[in-house]
């Protein structure tokens, strides 16, 4: 992940002008959209590019021999190449398009986990994970008789690596799954330590990059992981597209996930053989336009510069934490700004997070309230929900000011 020093600032007004949603007024106000960790807004470059694709280049991919089909295939495969470059992967064969991040993680759980795991094996996740990187591992452990172990966290929501030895004592560590950045409280996980430990035990590593890929430069080669999942809708792309990157040797050794068209080499009544990567894991008509849109989103993010986006979000996070620290009745969860992504989760002494979010909405401030699909993390903190503000390239300090001012109103309402 990149350094956040000496990077030129983002031209946020110009960026904002690329996003049609910010031209709308909500009760006469511009939207303070602080929910990008949930899903991001989309720039014109993606929206218009998609319209153009549907109007001039749309057909099914890989099957058509006519011009339109060739254009569609070029658009779809072009997006795969952009994704490869974006992740620093060696080959487009390692880039599998899925419906979302959840499906990418389930692909590994089903196609690797169900076949490779058994009694005596340990499958490791963390207490901070999104359910998408927790439930599949819990499930495959139960199905295969493997142990399911969960790395706990401290009061700051940072993983407690002292638990690793005890986990290793429970059996043969075969798989370690963790996120780069927690979606509920924003903590950045100690990637190198976790990967080093997994390697010591010869375990496969699965990294959930859904909250990192939109905001930070990633390079699968230097990360040294085996699988990495991301989701397009959080990084300016349309919904309906996710990515699984995996090492070719591992992907080749795996059984297929979904079965049907496109993923076969030949089918007879007696036997079916599998296609080569990546098609082996892309059964059926793929998310053609969605993948194309992901390619456009990658173009946009690359043009703006992920290092600059990360630095901008770091500034907003630091500012938000300072302002919230001075706000009455607000308790922020998680580590200090330097060890978190652009996510600030908090509770308010006098109001439930859902009520907070509703009143913030009446101020034109959009946040998420709930358990953020991380119930084990909420249990860890002894709460059921938080209010979460999350930042992206189109946010400003003014958005943070509006959040803090609206929170004062919530407090007054519930006093
Ligand atoms: C850390 C993390 N992992 C996985 C997911 C799942 O992504 P999707 O809902 O696109 O499948 C999310 C979405 O909130 C997430 O924040």
Ligand 1 residue neighbourhood (C-beta within 6 Å): 100-102, 130, 132-133, 179, 183, 208, 210-211, 231, 233, 242, 373
Specify the pLDDT at position 5: 45
Ligand 1 centroid, distance to 215 Cα (angstroms)? 14
Ramachandran bin of 364, using left for φ above 0, alpha for ψ from -120 to 50, beta for the remaining angles: left
Phi first, then psi, for residue 52 (nearest 5°) are -60, -40
Mean pLDDT for the stretch of residues 196-200: 98
Checking if the pLDDT of 3 tops 60, the result is no
Closest residue CA from atom 14 of ligand 1: 38
Q: Are 342 and 314 in contact (CB under 8 A)?
A: yes
**Looking at the structure, do residues 145 and 286 belong to the same domain, yes or no?**
yes
Residue 171 inside a domain? The answer is yes
Encode pLDDT of 237-266 as tens digits.
Answer: 999 999 999 999 999 999 999 999 999 999
* Cβ-based neighbour number of residue 156 at 10 Å: 13
Give the Cα separation of 304 and 353 in Å (integer).
34
The 8-class DSSP code of residue 9 comes to: P
Of residues 198, 201, 200, the one with CA closest to residue 227: 198
Mean pLDDT for the stretch of residues 140-146: 98
- Mean residue pLDDT across the chain: 96
Mean pLDDT for the stretch of residues 183-207: 98
Encode pLDDT of 44-63 as tens digits.
Answer: 999 999 999 999 999 999 98
For 3-27, b/e burial (b = at least 16 CB within 10 A) is: ebeebeebebeebbebbeebeeebe
**Best residue for ligand 1 mutational test, from 211, 290, 368 (most atoms within 8 Å of Cβ):** 211
Ligand 1 centroid, distance to 169 Cα (angstroms)? 31
Residue 356 inside a domain? The answer is yes
Residue 168 in tokens: 């290793």
Q: Are 28 and 243 in contact (CB under 8 A)?
A: no
Checking if the pLDDT of 95 tops 60, the result is yes
Checking if the pLDDT of 397 tops 50, the result is yes
Ligand 1 centroid, distance to 179 Cα (angstroms)? 10
Closest residue CA from atom 12 of ligand 1: 210
Please say which residue of 302, 325, 343 terminates a domain: 302
**Looking at the structure, do residues 146 and 230 belong to the same domain, yes or no?**
yes
CATH number, domain containing residue 317: 3.90.1150.10
Residue 1 inside a domain? The answer is no
Give the Cα separation of 93 and 404 in Å (integer).
47
Specify the pLDDT at position 415: 81
Indicate if 373 belongs to the active site: yes
Checking if the pLDDT of 6 tops 80, the result is no
Closest residue CA from atom 7 of ligand 1: 101
Encode pLDDT of 274-323 as tens digits.
Answer: 999 999 999 999 999 999 999 999 999 999 999 999 999 999 999 999 99
CATH number, domain containing residue 225: 3.40.640.10
Whether the ω angle into residue 95 lies within 30 degrees of 0, i.e. cis, is no
Specify the pLDDT at position 195: 98
Q: Are 294 and 230 in contact (CB under 8 A)?
A: no
Catalytic residue among 12, 168, 283, 373: 373
**Looking at the structure, do residues 409 and 367 belong to the same domain, yes or no?**
yes
Give the Cα separation of 371 and 351 in Å (integer).
15
Specify the pLDDT at position 63: 81
Q: Which domain holds residue 21?
A: 12-40+306-414
Q: Where are the alpha helices (DSSP H) in 305-352?
A: 306-325
Checking if the pLDDT of 2 tops 50, the result is no
pTM for this predicted structure: 0.97
**Looking at the structure, do residues 129 and 246 belong to the same domain, yes or no?**
yes
Please say which residue of 253, 272, 302 terminates a domain: 302
Angle, helix 135-144 to helix 101-108, in steps of 10 degrees: 20
Give the Cα separation of 114 and 143 in Å (integer).
7
* Cβ-based neighbour number of residue 244 at 10 Å: 26
Residue 307 in tokens: 């290092």
**Looking at the structure, do residues 338 and 252 belong to the same domain, yes or no?**
no
Encode pLDDT of 69-84 as tens digits.
Answer: 999 999 999 999 999 9
Please report the atom of ligand 1 found closest to the CA of residue 239. 10
Please say which residue of 258, 285, 302 terminates a domain: 302
Give the number of domains in the chain.
2
């Amino acid at each position: 992940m990149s350094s956040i020093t000496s990077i030129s600032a983002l031209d946020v007004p110009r960026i904002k002008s690329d996003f049609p949603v910010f031209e709308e007024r909500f009760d006469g106000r511009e939207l303070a959209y602080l929910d990008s960790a949930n899903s991001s807004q989309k720039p014109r470059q993606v929206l218009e590019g998609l319209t153009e694709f549907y109007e001039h280049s749309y057909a099914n991919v890989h099957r058509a021999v006519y011009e339109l089909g060739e254009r569609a295939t070029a658009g779809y495969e072009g997006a795969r190449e952009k994704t490869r470059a974006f992740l620093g992967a060696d080959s487009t064969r390692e880039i599998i398009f899925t419906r979302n991040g959840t499906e990418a993680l389930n692909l590994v759980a089903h196609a690797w986990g169900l076949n490779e795991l058994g009694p005596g094996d340990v499958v490791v996740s963390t207490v901070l994970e999104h359910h998408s990187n927790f439930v599949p591992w819990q499930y495959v452990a139960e199905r295969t008789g493997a142990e399911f172990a969960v790395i706990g966290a401290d009061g700051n929501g940072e993983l407690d690596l002292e638990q690793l030895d005890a986990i290793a004592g429970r059996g043969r560590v075969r798989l370690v799954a963790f996120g780069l950045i927690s979606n509920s409280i924003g903590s950045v996980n100690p990637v190198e330590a976790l990967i080093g430990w997994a390697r010591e035990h010869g375990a496969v590593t699965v990294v959930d990059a859904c909250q990192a890929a939109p905001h930070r430069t990633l390079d699968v080669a230097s990360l040294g992981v085996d699988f990495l999942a991301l989701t397009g809708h959080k990084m300016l792309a349309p919904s309906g597209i996710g990515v699984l990157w995996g090492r070719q040797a591992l992907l080749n050794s795996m059984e297929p996930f979904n079965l049907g068209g496109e993923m076969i080499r030949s089918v007879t009544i007696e036997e079916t053989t599998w296609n080569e990567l990546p098609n082996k894991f892309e059964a059926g008509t793929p998310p053609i336009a969605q993948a194309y849109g992901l390619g456009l989103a990658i173009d946009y993010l690359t043009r703006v510069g992920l290092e600059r986006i990360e630095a901008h979000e770091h500034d907003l996070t630091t500012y938000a934490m300072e302002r919230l620290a001075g706000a009455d009745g607000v308790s922020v969860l998680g580590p200090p700004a330097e060890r978190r992504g652009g996510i600030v989760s908090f509770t308010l002494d006098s109001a439930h997070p859902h009520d907070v979010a509703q009143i913030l909405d009446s101020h034109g401030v959009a946040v998420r309230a709930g358990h953020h699909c991380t119930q084990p993390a909420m249990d860890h903190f002894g709460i059921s929900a938080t209010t979460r503000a999350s930042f992206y390239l189109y946010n400003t300090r003014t958005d943070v000011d509006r959040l803090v001012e609206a929170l004062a109103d919530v407090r007054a309402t519930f006093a």
